[in-house]
Amino acid sequence: MQLTTYTQVIREGETNLRFKVQHPDNLLAELQQEISALATGNEHKLQQNQTLDNVLSHILDSWPIPVCLFDENNQLSYRNIAMKDKIQQPMLVGTAATDLGFVLENGNLTHSQFNQQWQCQSISYLFQQKKCHIFSALDISQPLHQQQSNTQQNLIRVLAHELRNSLTPMASMADTLLSNDSFNEAQVRLVLSRIKQRSNRLLSFIEQYSQLSQLPAPQSTWFDFNDLLDEAKAMITAPCTISYQGSSQCYADEQQMAQILINIFKNAQEACDEECCEIQVSLYHRQESSQGYQQTKQVIEINDNGPGFANLDNALTPFYTTKSHGSGIGLSLCAEITRNHGGDFILENTKNGAKITLSWPADKKVH
């Protein structure tokens, strides 16, 4: 066999053939030996890769999490048993993703079979310089049900506490009034006045709960953050110094963002009591890598000089408050609005006071 023929055979993937050395005493023989050694090494690596592929395939086939792979042409190259069972239709290798019900949008794969009870992940990766996709889905129905149960129990506990605090004194005052043989007008007016106060507080509580549970979807646009900050400052009546640095442009629902700032400023103001409240606000943009894509995130940091949060663990629990006249709605509402923007709402205590950080995705273009 000629040397050129042998190298062509190797290039085509054949590994069983061996080259017979024909020139034992010259440089060509050394070249033949090196090529044979290279072929043997390639065969060994190929066997290792095939073994690894078999192991991974076996692991994924026994995995309860649905997984599938698509090549650079968005055609199916692998699916495990869990994925086949979930899709409930033939999933032949080489079938187009769209024919299997998948939708590719902005680099992410989705499928109608995986509803809100599934946490889906779509990752793009390069294989032999070609862009491929891997799709997986995790059933989170049990954790969701547990979370919903915990939320309901907590809500019932808080509602019962709030109703008891309002209705018990009202019932007691009514009993006191009814136990008298004769009614004193001044006493009746006092009792009715207090019942009215308690009723108004209860109605306010219900209104605030309704506001928290019926937030509209955010309508995000670019707007001037300085104008929004001035609007929020105008809502603070007590002495309060608010300083700002950072970007002038922000991408969010302007009305809902104003609601966040007003709630945070009022919360900081109430925490400072008699002291002059000092609030520092900053807005900046940063680049983050998410699933192989660069994403622009906006970050708002708000620091105050107050005592910090008395109970960080419950600070975002709806209706939880350490204030005598608080409703426990403000920060919960801020967190919910931020989450609706696809972001995070983080509370911290620093040596100088409280710190609140909001971060959420921005539009593709940063002004």
Q: What DSSP line would sit under 330-341, residue for residue?
A: HHHHHHHHHHHT
Three-state DSSP state, 255: helix
pLDDT score, position 359 = 93
How sure is the predictor about 311, in pLDDT bands with cuts at 50, 70 and 90? confident
- pLDDT more than 90, % of the chain: 21
How sure is the predictor about 10, in pLDDT bands with cuts at 50, 70 and 90? low
- Of 199, 78, 71, which is closest to residue 133 (Cα–Cα)? 71
Residues with Cβ within 8 Å of residue 296, at least 6 apart in sequence: 285, 286, 287, 288, 361, 362, 363, 364, 366
Tally of CA atoms within 13 A in the half-sphere of 61 that contains its CB: 7
pLDDT score, position 212 = 63
How sure is the predictor about 365, in pLDDT bands with cuts at 50, 70 and 90? very low
Q: Which is more confident, 172 or 246? A: 246
| Structure token digits, residue 84 | 């086949």
Q: Which of 82-86, 162-166, 185-189 has the lowest mean pLDDT?
A: 162-166
pLDDT score, position 21 = 55
Mind giving me the DSSP string for 130-172? EEEEEEEEEE-HHHHHHHHHHHHHHHHHHHHHHHHHHHHHHHH
Res. 27: pLDDT tops 70: no
| Structure token digits, residue 223 | 């707007």
Q: Among 10-14, 294-298, 308-312, name the most confident range.
A: 294-298
| 217 DSSP 8-state letter | P
Res. 128: pLDDT tops 90: no
Stretch 81-102: mean pLDDT:
89
Over the stretch 287-303, which tens digit does the pLDDT of each residue have?
A: 876 555 667 899 999 99
pLDDT score, position 318 = 60
Average pLDDT of the chain to the nearest whole number: 79
- Of 353, 154, 366, 352, which is closest to residue 264 (Cα–Cα)? 353
Q: Which is more confident, 13 or 198? A: 198
Three-state DSSP state, 125: strand
Rounded Cα–Cα distance for residues 316 and 211 (Å): 16
Cα dist. 321→113, 272, 273, 330, 332 in Å? 41, 15, 16, 10, 11
Question: Is residue 249 within 8 Å of 229, Cβ to Cβ?
Answer: no
Cα dist. 174→81, 178, 187, 191 in Å? 68, 6, 11, 7
- Of 68, 356, 348, 367, which is closest to residue 246 (Cα–Cα)? 367
Over the stretch 203-223, which tens digit does the pLDDT of each residue have?
A: 776 776 676 667 788 899 999
Stretch 352-359: mean pLDDT:
92
Helices (H) and strands (E) counted in the chain, each on its own, are 8, 13
Stretch 262-273: mean pLDDT:
84
State pTM to two decimals: 0.51
Over the stretch 243-258, which tens digit does the pLDDT of each residue have?
A: 999 999 999 999 899 9
pLDDT score, position 366 = 41
Stretch 130-145: mean pLDDT:
86
Res. 367: pLDDT tops 50: no
Amino acid identity, position 43? E
